[in-house]
Structure 1
Amino acid sequence: MTQNVDLNLLSSLDMLLTERNVTRAAHRLGLSPSAMSRTLSRLRAATGDQLLVQAGRTLVPTPYAEQITGRVHELARNARAVLQPVNQALDIATLERTFTIRANDGFVDLVGPSLMTAIAHSASRVRIRFVQKPDKDAQPLREGMIDLEVGVIGTKAPELKTRLLFQDRFVGICRTGHPLLAPSDVTANRYIGYPHVVVSRKGQFSGPVDDALGQLGLRRTVAMVVPSYANAMRIARYSDFIGLVPRSCLVNGATGDNARSAGLQHFELPVRTPGIKVSAIWHPRFHADLAHRWLRDTILAVCRNMQLAD
């Protein structure tokens, strides 16, 4: 016999797993704490799991609750989307929503402060969850695990929507006073005369610069691979290593100051490398969603205000 399930419990479960606090969850749903406590009891009975258990003065999720949190949130969000009028007007000031954005550390450092300032000014109840970007797999976008991705387009998923945010380019970096920057041009031969640190999520020791040097019959010595541009900048700042970063990494997102004042100098590479096109990428399911459209427009506006967007 199939058990009848009260689907009204779904939004309560989503809120409880999000807030992990009965009182706050009750407030957000317009219920009394006692009513929410009774709902939690019903959820425990329906699932056969305690879901949230006491740990001192706080509630912590059980392993099962941790396992289903993402699925519950997606189901609740899809249910709300189904039951909302398609042409419903969006009130940004009262919008309560958490957007998950996948981006690398460089973009978060660069745009994060200005983005959150813009959001706090117009939509104080909106929250942003930045998550790491280990690869360019399109599946998290397809499954709704993330709302938006920011970066260089690297997926072949034909259905994804994209919008160019800004164009960037690679530059070399080294510590202030490095002998490479002595009164002379940074030639390819002088460039390869020092050890290099490169950035690669996959741990690769070569990239576009090495391809360009190879065409000249030259090869640099890559002595270290690190996972982030912040790592490379710190290593270059305190050693004789030469680094390679996007030009935007040298701009402070809050002040616009060049990183040269922090002990780094940049220089134009002695070889030509492909430009970098940084785009917003999303699944078509969110293309007409007014709140999602507002988020995309806000990110683009922030990039333009920082004179990043073309």
Structure 2
Amino acid sequence: MSQHVDLNLLTALDMLLTERNVTRAARRLGLSPSAMSRTLSRLRLATGDQLLVQAGRTLVPTPYAEQLTAQVHELAHSARAVLQPANNDLDLKTLERTFTLRANDGFIDLIGASLMAAIAQAAPRVRLRFVPKLDKDAQPLRDGMIDLEIGVIGTKAPELKTRLLLQDRFVGICRTGHPLLARPGITAKRYASHPHVVVSRKRKFSGPVDDALDRLGLRRTVVMVVPSYTNAMRIVRNADLIGLVPRSSLGSGSPEEIATDAGLQYFELPVRTPAIKVSAIWHPRLHADPAHRWLRDTVLTVCKETRLRD
């Protein structure tokens, strides 16, 4: 005997798992909190699982609910899409939309102004919201909290779409007048002989440079770890430390302009490190969306037009 399933419960479950709060979920669905509580009871009966349980003043999902979250969100989104008329016409002049992008400080500094100028010219009612790139977790893309991520691919989420935007490289930085610059020819041995500051969100003291130095029988001394490239540049500007940053994080100016504006100099590393491949990353539910496709194309165009003057 087939069991009748109320598909309205799918939308309610998606909202409850997203908000993890009965009152907020009810508000978003235009229901009263008591009606949403009754719906949660129906969902518990239908699934045979508590789904959300009290933990102090908040609700937390059960392991089964955690397992369902991504699938339920995708199903609910697909159901809503099926029941809406298809509309592929895109009028950029009247498009009103806010896109949320996740990127690191260096990328925002490099193309933020140019990207906003290009968007303002084509779609004056579109806004951008950049949020910090604290990790590479794919869940915000799946949940729709992030529209587009910019950075090095670091997730194993198989469904995500990607597009290469630019290739970058690591360079060394130091303050103008640093002893390392006293004579030409920065060798690996001289590079390793000075104290270093490294950037790592995972608080690691080593990286690809250390692997390359190790193959030469050399080891550098890392005395400080900081969370961002901006931190490293500010510290290096005022200390006898050597830093390591992507070339793009220094802006698109010439070496002379960077030395004048930032008070530091960069140099090519005396060892080889892997290229930095910066990509756009998005969830497949937005792949065919005309406005999102336009945003992706605009980001790619701006990246291509940004030239790093070496």
What TM-score bracket applies, with the shorter chain setting the length? 0.7 to 0.9
2:229–2:249 CA contact under 8 A, matched in 1: yes
1-structure distance, mates of 2:125, 2:156: 35
Deviation at 1:47, TM superposition (A): 4.3
Find the counterpart in structure 2 of residue 13 from structure 1.
Answer: none
* Residue 90 (structure 1) aligns with: 90
Structure 2 counterpart SS, 1:185: coil
Partner of 2:150: 150
> Mind listing any 5+ residue stretches in structure 2 that lack a counterpart?
1-5, 12-26, 35-56, 59-73
- Structure-1 residue corresponding to 2:207: 207
Cα distance between partner residues in 2 of 1:176 and 1:145: 42
Aligned to 2:259: 260
Residues of 2 paired with 1:77 and 1:175: CA distance? 52
1:230 aligns with 2:230: yes
1:161-200 to 2 correspondence within 5 Å?
161-200=161-200
Task: Tell me which amino acid in the other structure corresponds to 1:298.
Answer: T
**SS, match of residue 266 in structure 1:** strand
Q: Give the stretch that moved more between structures: 113-122 or 167-176.
A: 113-122
**2:302 aligned partner, one-letter code:** V
1:223 counterpart SS class: strand
Shift, 1:250, TM fit: 1.5
CA distance in 1, matches of 2:81, 2:238: 51
Cα RMSD of the aligned pairs, angstroms, is 3.1
Residues 259 and 297 of structure 1: CA distance in aligned 2, closer, same or farther (over 3 Å): same
Partner residue in 2 for 1:301: 301
**Counterpart amino acid of residue 280 in structure 1:** A
- Match in the other structure for 1:289: 289
Deviation at residue 184 of structure 1 after TM alignment? 2.5
C-alpha distance 82-131 of structure 1, shift in aligned 2 (>3 A): farther
How far the C-alpha of 1:140 sits from its partner, in A, is 1.3
Contact 1:250–1:258 at 8 Å: present in 2 too?
A: no
Alignment-derived partner of residue 46 in structure 1: 32
Give the SS at the match of 2:135.
Answer: coil
Q: State the AA in 2 paired with 1:260.
A: A
Q: CA deviation at 1:183?
A: 2.2
Task: Label 1:256 to 1:296 Cα distance change in 2 as closer, same or farther (>3 A).
Answer: farther
Aligned ranges for residues 30-41 of structure 1 at < 5 Å?
A: none
CA contact under 8 A between 1:251 and 1:258: conserved in structure 2? no
The C-alpha deviation readout for 1:108-133, integer Å capped at 9, x for no partner, is 11111111111111112111111111
Partner of 1:115 in structure 2?
A: 115
Instruction: Kindly provide the amino acid, as one letter, of the partner of residue 269 in structure 2.
Output: L
Alpha-carbon distance in 2 for matches of 1:271, 1:91? 50
TM-score by length of 2: 0.72
Shift of 1:267: 0.7
C-alpha distance in 1 between matches for 2:32 and 2:118: 42
CA distance in 1, matches of 2:144, 2:108: 21
**Structure 1 residues 95 and 79, CA, compared in 2 at 3 Å: closer, same or farther?**
farther
TM-score by length of 1: 0.72
Distance 1:272 1:209 in 2: 8
The 8 Å contact of residues 152 and 276 in structure 1, kept in 2 or not, is answered as: yes
Task: Write the letter of the residue equivalent to 1:206.
Answer: S
Cα distance in 2 for residues equivalent to 1:138 and 1:105: 19
| Partner SS, residue 93 of structure 1 | coil
Matched, 1:100 2:100: yes
Aligned 8 A contact 1:252 1:258 in 2 = no
Residues 102 and 131 in structure 1, CA contact (< 8 A), matched pair in contact too: yes
Following superposition, the deviation at residue 232 of structure 1 comes to 0.5
Aligned-partner SS, 1:198: strand
Tell me, what secondary structure is at the counterpart of 1:214? helix
Note if contact 2:167-2:275 (Cα within 8 Å) is conserved in structure 1.
Answer: yes
Matched length: 249
Taking the aligned partners of 1:195 and 1:208, their CA distance within structure 2 comes to 17
* Residue deviations 1:175-234 (CA, integer Å, cap 9, x gap): 111110122311111111211010001111100001111111111110011111011011
SS at match of 2:32: helix
